[in-house]
Amino acid sequence: MMGNPLLDISAEVDQALLDKYGFALNNAILAEEKHVPVYEELMAMPNVEFIAGGATQNSARVCQWIMQKPQSVVYSGCVGKDKYADKLKESASADNVDVQYYVVDDTPTGTCAVLVNGKERSLCANLAAANCYKNEHLKSAEMQAKMTGAKIYYNAGFFLTVSPESAMDMSKHANETGKTYCLNLSAPFIMEVPPFKAAVDSLLPTTDFLFGNESEAATFGKVQGWGEISVAEVAEKIQKMPKEGKNPRYVVFTQGATSTVVAGPEGVKEYPVPAVPEAEIVDTNGAGDAFVGGFLAQLAAGKPIEECVRCGHWAGGVIIRRSGCSYPATADFK
């Protein structure tokens, strides 16, 4: 897995703070200059938490937690040479993830403001060093050995704002060797900003599993000019787009507590999400990342799609009962 390692700065906030910066709940954006002061505001709050984050790193940690065998998951991304990077590596390594950071000296480690309001959240990422990943790191002998040894490859769409060429190299390698490449749409802006959408379009022919949520599905359909169609119809249309290689394409769209839509060569299926009592929900931050981690853990084990979805739902259910993307010491998925 390769993505943008970020130290999450998480705190409960009121609507006034969200309005002050123009943040929307259940959304993720990249920080602009006007957003920079929010990090200091959060850090000054008494309830602030610092959590190893970044969408892909969250998925890597959850996947490793479920797979149990140490260092089954390799994670790479760019960090600075600072205490925040030390915190990130300490956390991910403690979770038995094989961490392969690319370290730069002149840029601080990236951070993500996690503004929790009720049981929903808004994310604002200041990529900083995460924006400095270079494809030369992927081409290093050590990383090439890691890539050759893997059988599943995953990028969140956020990484396409940083090093689309690295994602393309991973995708091509998977396609040429009959392995599995997975991509997540990650946020509506990935489809709305032309260079990022172009990167998605370039990767789609070699993408075996495409993940997203209902808002990302709607945005994809809108940008494609498909009009007001359902999430299931968007999934079906993407599944039928041109595909290279021997593997079929699956499109997996979550919809929060509503059923998860999966479009594959056998058609479109919907899988109900097990209900989580409202009183047990702490916050929804990391739920989508956890779903992917659970799904990929079962995919790596060779389980059928319905088991992958079931584990994704289970992992998401664990995470929303806790603060941030955290989990118990052991995974009891059965």
- Which positions are annotated as active-site residues? 289
* Largest interatomic CA distance in the chain: 53
What angle in degrees, to the nearest 10, is found between the helix axes of 231-239 and 214-224?
A: 60
DSSP 278-310: GGG----TTHHHHHHHHHHHHHHTT--HHHHHH
CA distance 113 to 28: 10
Q: Is 238 helix (H, G, I), strand (E, B) or coil?
A: helix
Tokens at 191, concatenated: 């489809």
Residue 124 bridge partners (DSSP): 29, 113
User: Which residue's entry shows tokens 């259910």?
Assistant: 317
Strand stretches in the chain, DSSP E: 6-12, 27-30, 49-53, 74-75, 78-80, 98-99, 102-104, 111-117, 120-126, 152-156, 180-184, 209-213, 250-255, 258-264, 267-271
- Tracing tokens 């999430």 back to the chain, one arrives at 231
Calpha distance 69→107 (Å, rounded): 34
* Token pair in block for residue 102: 């690319």
Residue 275 and residue 97: Cα distance in Å, rounded?
A: 30
d(CA 325, CA 292): 12
